[in-house]
């Protein structure tokens, strides 16, 4: 009998055998103290972590390790008030920030944003003329949702109260990489879409320039919160098998991601069970000068360099984006 370690694992998307890409991977942001390996499909390049965390582990890492921004209803409103940019504005094209899925919806449509967090996206959908609905697992958001009168279902998609064939758009920004069974997930949410309705999703690109050259330091491994990593081919197979047509799929690289990757490259990889300062939120009520002191001058200088680097490399990233080597996919699927 094969031991579990030596057993061949098969790709969740196309069923081909996978091979080990990296072992000894761990949470290099928030310090969850377990190790995982990454296995990659030899045919479609989809990758997943091994083992896939159980639902108990997933619940615990999001509750006990993942930092939540403490936002008030006023903060949420203020953020949404500043939202006026169109996804294809010059500024977004320049900065590579085209992966905010709900910004592509059309006025007069019914829109479900899965994993809507504090509800900023729902206010922005309303601003774009859409009828906004959301789902979110984190019940801490409920008081904000009540205060802002947002239509949010707290719970998983199996218990959503929305009728079948109801939505024109389902959006999910940087979500599918967190879902242990993406195929089952798409089949389930597809029922809630009208025929001809669209899914707009964004997710990291495992074939991006940085995924290749930064190896274990790639910021989008984000293990074990991310369990799946997609290539263009795996997206195509997944869409086909779940009854969707790929209308458009392109890559885009947000400048913020470039800066975070630069910072990560310049620092030692944190060891198992430790937190990386890059990912810790700025303590509340700390002014900039106090924050520089808190970070150390060296760390602050690195952040300035990272920001400059992200500006200088804009032209190179826009070329990579066009070649499909950008850091994030933005994918438009249509229910057949
Ligand atoms: Zn595969």
Asked if residue 77 is part of any domain, the answer here is: yes
Own/partner long-range contacts of 77-86 (Cβ < 8 Å, ≥24 apart): 77/123, 77/148, 79/120, 80/120, 80/123, 80/124, 80/127, 83/120, 83/123, 83/124, 83/127
**Measured in angstroms, how far is the CA atom of residue 326 from the centroid of ligand 1?**
21
**Measured in angstroms, how far is the CA atom of residue 233 from the centroid of ligand 1?**
8
Asked if residue 306 is part of any domain, the answer here is: no
Taking the mean position of all CA atoms in its chain, how far away is CA 251?
14
What lies within 8 Å, CB to CB, of 165 at 6+ separation is 191, 192, 193, 194, 195
**Measured in angstroms, how far is the CA atom of residue 239 from the centroid of ligand 1?**
13
Asked if residue 151 is part of any domain, the answer here is: yes
Number of domains in the chain: 1
**pLDDT for 85:** 61
**Measured in angstroms, how far is the CA atom of residue 278 from the centroid of ligand 1?**
33
Average pLDDT, 10 consecutive residues per value, the chain (336 residues): 64 96 97 97 97 91 80 86 72 86 96 94 94 92 93 92 97 96 97 97 98 97 97 98 97 96 96 94 87 92 96 96 98 96
Asked if residue 157 is part of any domain, the answer here is: yes
DSSP, collapsed to helix, strand or coil, labels residue 198 as strand
**Of 215, 229, 252, the residue nearest 332 (C-alpha):** 252
Asked if residue 23 is part of any domain, the answer here is: no
**Measured in angstroms, how far is the CA atom of residue 322 from the centroid of ligand 1?**
24
Burial class (CB in 10 A: 0-12, 13-18, 19+), 150: buried
**Measured in angstroms, how far is the CA atom of residue 47 from the centroid of ligand 1?**
8
**pLDDT for 4:** 52
Enclosing H/E stretch for 90: helix 90-95
Asked if residue 94 is part of any domain, the answer here is: yes
Structural domain for 130, as ranges = 73-257+313-335
**Measured in angstroms, how far is the CA atom of residue 261 from the centroid of ligand 1?**
27
Asked if residue 114 is part of any domain, the answer here is: yes
**Measured in angstroms, how far is the CA atom of residue 203 from the centroid of ligand 1?**
17
pLDDT, one tens digit per residue, over 124-159 is 999 999 999 999 988 888 999 999 999 999 988 999
**Of 202, 306, 186, 315, the residue nearest 245 (C-alpha):** 186
**Measured in angstroms, how far is the CA atom of residue 49 from the centroid of ligand 1?**
14
The 8-class DSSP code of residue 115 comes to T
* Token couple for 105: 């919806």
**Measured in angstroms, how far is the CA atom of residue 234 from the centroid of ligand 1?**
6
Cα distance between residue 136 and residue 139, in whole Å: 7
**Measured in angstroms, how far is the CA atom of residue 235 from the centroid of ligand 1?**
10
Sign of CA dihedral 150, 155, 156, 160: negative
**pLDDT for 17:** 96
**Measured in angstroms, how far is the CA atom of residue 207 from the centroid of ligand 1?**
14
Q: For the domain that residue 129 is a member of, what is the CATH number?
A: 3.40.50.150
* Token couple for 322: 């066009």
Q: How many CB atoms lie within 10 A of CB 64?
A: 9
**Measured in angstroms, how far is the CA atom of residue 29 from the centroid of ligand 1?**
28
**Measured in angstroms, how far is the CA atom of residue 228 from the centroid of ligand 1?**
12
Cα distance between residue 336 and residue 327, in whole Å: 28
**Measured in angstroms, how far is the CA atom of residue 162 from the centroid of ligand 1?**
32
**Measured in angstroms, how far is the CA atom of residue 20 from the centroid of ligand 1?**
13
- Report the DSSP beta bridge partners of residue 112: 133, 170
Instruction: For 127-196, give the DSSP string.
Output: HTT-EEEEEES-GGGHHHHHHTT--EEES-GGG--PPTT-EEEEEEET-GGG-S-HHHHHHHHHTTEEEE
**Measured in angstroms, how far is the CA atom of residue 16 from the centroid of ligand 1?**
5
Instruction: For 10-77, give the DSSP string.
Output: B-TTT--BEEEEEEEE--TTB-----EEEEEETTT--EEEESPPPHHHHHHHHHHTS------HHHHH
* Token couple for 191: 């029922």
**pLDDT for 141:** 86
**Measured in angstroms, how far is the CA atom of residue 195 from the centroid of ligand 1?**
27
**Measured in angstroms, how far is the CA atom of residue 40 from the centroid of ligand 1?**
8
**pLDDT for 95:** 87
Asked if residue 278 is part of any domain, the answer here is: no
Model's pTM, two decimal places? Answer: 0.93
pLDDT, one tens digit per residue, over 281-323 is 888 888 989 999 999 999 999 999 999 999 999 999 999 999 9
Cα distance between residue 330 and residue 230, in whole Å: 12
């Amino acid at each position: 009998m094969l031991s579990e370690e030596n057993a061949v694992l098969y790709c969740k998307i196309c069923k081909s055998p996978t091979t080990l890409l990296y072992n000894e991977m761990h949470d290099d942001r928030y310090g969850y103290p377990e190790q995982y390996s990454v296995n990659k499909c030899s045919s479609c390049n989809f990758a997943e972590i091994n083992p896939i965390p159980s639902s108990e582990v997933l619940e615990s890492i999001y509750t006990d390790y993942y930092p939540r921004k403490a936002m008030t209803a006023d903060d949420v409103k203020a953020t949404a008030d500043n939202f006026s940019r169109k996804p294809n504005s010059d500024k977004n094209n320049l900065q590579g920030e085209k992966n905010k899925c709900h910004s592509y919806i059309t006025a007069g449509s019914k829109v479900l944003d899965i994993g809507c967090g504090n509800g900023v996206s729902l206010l922005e959908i309303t601003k774009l003329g859409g009828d906004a609905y959301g789902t979110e697992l984190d019940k801490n958001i409920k008081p904000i949702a009540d205060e802002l009168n947002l239509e949010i279902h707290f719970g998983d998609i199996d218990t959503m109260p929305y009728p079948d064939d109801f939505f024109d758009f389902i959006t999910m920004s940087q979500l599918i990489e967190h879902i242990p069974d993406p195929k089952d997930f798409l089949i389930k949410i597809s029922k809630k879409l009208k025929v001809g309705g669209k899914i707009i999703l964004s997710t990291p690109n495992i074939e991006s320039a940085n995924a290749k050259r930064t190896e274990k330091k790639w910021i989008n491994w984000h293990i074990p919160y991310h369990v799946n990593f997609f290539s263009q081919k795996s997206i195509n197979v997944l869409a086909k098998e779940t009854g969707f047509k790929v209308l458009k799929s392109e890559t885009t690289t947000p400048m913020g991601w470039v800066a975070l990757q630069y910072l990560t490259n310049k620092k030692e990889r944190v060891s198992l069970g430790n937190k990386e300062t890059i990912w810790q939120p700025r303590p509340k009520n700390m002014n900039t000068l106090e924050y520089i002191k808190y970070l150390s001058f060296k760390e602050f200088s690195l952040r300035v360099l990272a920001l400059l680097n992200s500006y200088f490399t804009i032209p190179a990233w826009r070329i990579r984006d066009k070649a499909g080597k950008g850091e994030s996919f933005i994918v438009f699927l249509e229910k057949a």
